[in-house]
Amino acid sequence: MYKSFFKPISDRVFALILLILFSLVLLLVALLIRVQMGSPVIFTQLRPTKKGKIFKIYKFRTMTDERDENGELLADEVRLRGFGKKVRNLSLDELPQLFNVLKGDISFIGPRPLLPEYLPLYSNFQKQRHDVKAGITGLAQIKGRNNISWKNKFRYDVFYAKRVSLKLDFYIFFLTIWKVLKRSDVNQDGVATAEKFKG
């Protein structure tokens, strides 16, 4: 009952409340990004959610568009600096995903939506992470976020997909707040976020 009825309803209600409460913060961050880095302010990218359905995720832009002499984008760690890095470290870049929750694309709690290019690389076990909607935060995030191995990320994702409950969601929610306040595990050592999954 919780997973199929109360969770999706509470997600949308809570998202609407937070969008109203954080409207000034959203506006201020958007303005500062526009001044510091220019347009676009919102970064969009296609991501898979439940059953591999593709949706467009919204995030605040945190990287510049700097390119080399061949017109290729510079490495993430070079383009992630200054104000963009502060936005990422404070997890403010995730705020626009409240619109994704309101639309029903994702949930507050669930496996993080990864890149569509990873879909063919998953094992049958790993595919089970898509038995539930993707989320803004999840079990893997509170267990190490970008500083744990892909193997462990998938293990936590599948564990959550098989055991969704109100109690587990509350546990993840409060631990997420603690992680954000501590600003821990935002980046993987040596890279701007985390290394790519290779299967």
pTM to 2 decimal places: 0.89
Enter the DSSP assignment of 104.
T
Residues 96-129 have pLDDT tens digits of 999 999 999 999 999 999 999 999 999 999 999 9
Measured between alpha carbons, how far is 128 from 184 in angstroms, rounded to an integer?
A: 27
**What are the structure tokens assigned to 100, written together?**
């994704």
Which whole-number Å values give the CA distances from 137 to 4, 32, 70, 108, 121, in the listed order?
Answer: 19, 25, 37, 6, 22
Enter the DSSP assignment of 138.
-
pLDDT at res. 105: 97
